[in-house]
């Protein structure tokens, strides 16, 4: 992940880039290879403690699935 002066946080991929908005940059930041998927979800649930934990779980999984489909991020 890098910071674009015009677009904000982006993931640079071969021949393209993905603009990250909302909690996207934080999710990518937490995917550091040291944390499990459960750790990432738990951290975000703690940080956004006013939000529905199940909604956070679903949205993180959907976001990561999208990044995985675009070959931007692998996760187990």
- Identify any residues that bridge with 9 across adjacent strands, giving them in sequence order: 3
Domain 21-76 fold is Arc Repressor Mutant, subunit A (1.10.10)
Residue for token pair 């990561």: 64
Predicted confidence band at 6 (pLDDT cuts at 50, 70, 90)?
Answer: confident
Looking at residue 15, what is its pLDDT?
Answer: 83
Residue 2 has pLDDT above 80, yes or no: no
Q: What is the pTM of this model?
A: 0.83
Output 14 or 53, whichever has higher pLDDT.
53
Whether the Cβ atoms of residue 10 and residue 18 lie closer than 8 Å to each other: yes
- pLDDT tens digit sequence for 30-42: 999 999 999 999 9
Give dist(CA 9, CA 60) in Å, integer: 17
Give dist(CA 56, CA 75) in Å, integer: 17
Question: Helix 37-47 and helix 53-69: axis angle, to 10°?
Answer: 130
Residue 48 has pLDDT above 70, yes or no: yes
């Amino acid at each position: 992940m890098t910071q674009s002066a015009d677009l904000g946080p982006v993931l640079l991929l071969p021949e393209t880039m993905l603009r990250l908005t909302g909690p996207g940059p934080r999710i990518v930041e937490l995917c550091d290879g040291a944390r499990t998927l459960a750790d990432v979800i738990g951290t975000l649930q703690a940080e956004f403690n006013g939000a529905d934990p199940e909604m956070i779980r679903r949205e993180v999984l959907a976001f990561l699935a999208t990044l995985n489909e675009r070959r931007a991020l692998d996760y187990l």
